[in-house]
Amino acid sequence: MNTRNQIRYIVGAGLALAAIISVALTASSRADNLTLQDVISKHLDSIGTPETRASIQSRVILGTAVATFRLGGKGQAEGRAVLASQANMILVGISFDVPDYPRENMGFDGKTLTVADLTPGVRSTLGKFFMTHEMPFREGLLAGTLSAAWPLLDMSSKKASMKYDGLKKIEGRQFHVIRYEPKNDSDLKTKLYFEADTFRHVRTEYELRQVQEMVTRPGVTQQQGDSITKLIEEFSNFKAENGLNLPHTYKLQLSIETLNRRVLQDWEFTLSQFAFNKTLDKKQFDVTSK
């Protein structure tokens, strides 16, 4: 290649690179210029039209769920699952054919959260978590857009504070991130994640960090770092159901790490049957009455 052609090649490559950078900067600028309301509006559009969203008042979703105990227990169990919701009420239930782990049943009737015992007086680790931290149920966050109680469907009924944190990359993918802070202070720091291109809600993270102290000698304690409790919800395999674009795979993962305890458990739902606008009674969301 002669000198003139080399110059042309370099200039051409430079212009191409400049164009790529310009597009990237423009995309970044657009993301940076988005407001909280922009993200929420685009997210709602990703679920369905305003008319369709408004027309569906309740949901009953059936499928299967696999529970996997990775730390703090070992083993796996498969069972039948149901998610039911209406207004600000939500129920999550799994029935297992395992004597020492027969169920995970939790329901919120709009005022009170109930959690079924595994055996009389004994609750699961997940059940204990929600009895201590009711906020995901009370705010309608649990189960994301699978639930009629999803707060972004009607923020006028909530007094939460939300802040758009921009884009964040996780495992090579970009997500819009919103911090969610309920009116009544919660120990759980909560973040909602939306796909950068589709604005579908695909992840929620709840995290609690507490300083751990250990007695080193009588009357003397020493900080030993943080204990970390984290609940992660993930949503995937979106398909249309009665005009709504909803996830058909839903995963819950609970991790607890303290000085003397480590827990890692997850529950993966495969959802296959969707029914809408069934009339549900408040009593159906009290799992202790069954």
pLDDT digits (tens, 9 = 90+) for 244-282: 999 999 999 999 998 888 999 999 999 999 999 999 999
Q: What kind and span of H or E run contains 287?
A: none
Cα-flanking dihedrals φ and ψ of residue 107, to 5°?
-140, 145
pLDDT on residue 155: 84
pLDDT on residue 3: 42
CB 34 within 8 A of CB 164: yes
CB 68 within 8 A of CB 266: yes
Three-state DSSP state, 174: strand
- Give CA separation, 45 vs 95, 112, 162, in Å: 34, 31, 19
Note every long-range contact of 138-142, with CB atoms under 8 Å and residues 24 or more positions apart, other chains counting: 138/108, 138/113, 138/182, 139/180, 139/182, 140/88, 140/90, 141/180, 141/190, 141/192, 141/204, 142/90, 142/92, 142/233
- Cβ count near 290 (within 10 Å): 11
Decide the pairing of beta strands 75-86 and 58-71. antiparallel
CA distance 97 to 82: 15
User: What b/e readout covers 80-105, taking b as 16+ CB neighbours within 10 angstroms?
Assistant: ebbbbbbebbbbbbbebeeeebbbbb
Given a cut of 50, the residues of the chain with pLDDT beneath it are 2-30, 220
Token pair 């699952």 is found at 81
Considering the domain 34-289 in this protein, what is its CATH number? 2.50.20
> What strands lie across the sheet with 189-195, from one edge to the other?
113-115, 103-108, 89-96, 75-86, 58-71, 262-276, 244-257, 220-241, 201-217, 189-195, 173-181, 161-170
Q: What is the largest CA-CA distance in the chain?
A: 86
Token pair 């058909």 is found at 248
